[in-house]
Structure 1
């Protein structure tokens, strides 16, 4: 059977979830598939059980997120783009509820019906309003089944759509006035929202809605070694999914992590920070693209591939960022290129892309 391009967490880690469920003897909140202890082990890894580490951020942040979802408050994960907010919300949902598919993608066009319900208009016209004619939203299903629902990019939703969540989070019920009924949330229901700090001010959350969430800021990884391990782990999983076998030298991953760290440091070494998002997720995309280029074009991996894929994946056509990168090459990379082959390849390819 051909695997989908991207498996949901509950599909990808089904064996680990089953193993944890079998071994789990700790107390569970009502409606949870796993205990909080097992949820933490699933996300942060437990080698003695054969459970891999999936999230490389702060342990305390994960613990606070789990506790939030046991409370009456929702959980709001905020932070810069590409800091694994969505991945963390997916892991939490699948470990707690057994599914992560109860998802609403927030956009400027998100409607109230997508948060609550709409109608099968053929049945509505022929038989009038009824439960059979109701088309339930992911949040409706989550309330009915006592599961975790997720809403991505909440601050991109219009204010009136955000406000529709207030009664759901405070009253834990959803009214269907056409039928004269209210759906009461079952034990285990809660909501995880995510929002990018880059979108702050797009549709600022009201104070009333903020009070219904516990906020956790997901930071950019500060530990270069952890970031390298995460990149290698993510890229290896993607390549395995595609049946591609490429050995990625740790020196190349270290080069990219160093470049990103250099360019994230504002006001240091006479460098200007880029407009582009230099997240770990972008680094994963770059290394993955380099591996595919090496495999399918039968080219040995080098620092030149990093520069080429960084240009297409991160810089795109931003002229100002190209000028800043040219300065970075001249001030920082030129010296490193004199002693290390990978940096020399990166420098030579970068010259063509950003200094010509």
Structure 2
């Protein structure tokens, strides 16, 4: 495990999942590894009676997670919707790990995702040699989840072409996947369900049909409600990534707070004191991007600096995150630097570092 760059959730948090399972005395739906209550405790964090600490995976409303978990205990699929960087994929992975013990039944949605990724495909060498047989068929993650009673995940559902999306309708409504080539079907066993994620900035790309949308319960994951919560999320994830990447464990709190402040002000179009209106850049400036900026800064400090994270280490990452459109975003960033950053107390080094890389 120490050589794996990015372990699956069920690998990275195996001890926590085992401790929760051992202490969980509530009723578990058929096919579930944990009770719904324990799944939410796993996501939100808690301390067990024996002193085992379950670290929080999601920082936000517990009620939202309860709604999501309750949905998966019914015959309705779950759609996690939100702007980029609101932990949709992260929550989806941890839900699958806690409920099924396996988060790997994944369909990654893209413009090129084919219907075979939702239904099934064929081993064409065997298909030509034997004709359509059970052995020649290649099961999709959805089909595998149906057969084994596990959760399947569909990432970026609205990136998938509309005709391919609609292959999910029969699966979600009838819990059946027909295989006409074999004159048979796969019926879902208890424990199967689907978690999909969608980016609400992709509206108009491949809208969900009304028939498909009705098969989902939608939970909207918001951006962190306050700066303190967002700083906590960034700090926790940066610490985890730093250990995995062998980056220096240095005090990054000042720069994390700075990056979060910049991102929140620019995406909100207003300084934190409410006195100055700002142009909003075209990018999302999400919590996930803040994590990336700090992690990149730590790498710069480790390999090209003294190991301590400073303004110069995060400036380049911030400029790259803000300026997605080289014209409009450059104007918004320049105005923010000159009207807000230049005269802000304690930010002079950051101002000049941004000017240097910008």
Structure 2 length normalisation: TM-score? 0.94
Q: Which SS does the other structure have where 1:118 is aligned?
A: strand
Matched residue, 2:337: 329
Superposed CA deviations along residues 272-315 of structure 1, whole A, max 9, x for unmatched, are: 11112210000000000011111111333212222211123442
Aligned length: 350
Could you tell me which residue of structure 2 aligns to residue 210 of structure 1? 213
1:69-108 Cα distance to aligned partner (Å, 9 max, x none): 0111100011101111000000101100000000001111
Instruction: Tell me if 1:289 matches 2:296.
Output: yes
Q: Secondary structure, in 3 states, of the residue corresponding to 2:285? A: coil
46, 65, 68: which one pairs with 1:65? 68
CA deviations 1:309-336 (Å, max 9, x no partner) are 1123442562321211111111111221
Name stretches of at least 5 consecutive residues in structure 2 with no aligned partner.
none
Please give the alpha-carbon distance, in whole angstroms, between the structure 1 residues aligned to 2:323 and 2:225.
Answer: 22
Matched, 1:122 2:114: no
2:134 is equivalent to residue 168 of structure 1: no
**SS state at 2:167 partner:** helix
Aligned match of 1:92: 95
Q: Assess if the C-alpha contact under 8 Å between 1:282 and 1:314 holds in 2.
A: no
Structure 2 partner of 1:231: 234
SS of the residue corresponding to residue 135 of structure 2 reads helix
The answer for the alignment partner of 2:247 in structure 1 is 244
Instruction: Return 5+ residue gaps in structure 1 as ranges.
Output: none
Which of 14-23 and 166-175 deviates more? 14-23
Does residue 305 (structure 1) correspond to residue 308 (structure 2)? The answer is no
3-state SS in 2 of match to 1:332: helix
Structure 1 residue 245 displacement after superposition: 2.3
TM-score, normalising length: structure 1: 0.95
Note the aligned Cα RMSD (angstroms): 1.4
Does structure 1 conserve the Cα–Cα contact (< 8 Å) formed by 2:283 and 2:321?
no
2:333 paired with 1:345: no
Q: What is the deviation of 1:351?
A: 2.3
CA distance in 2: counterparts of 1:262 and 1:124, whole angstroms: 58
Moved more, 344-353 or 207-216: 344-353
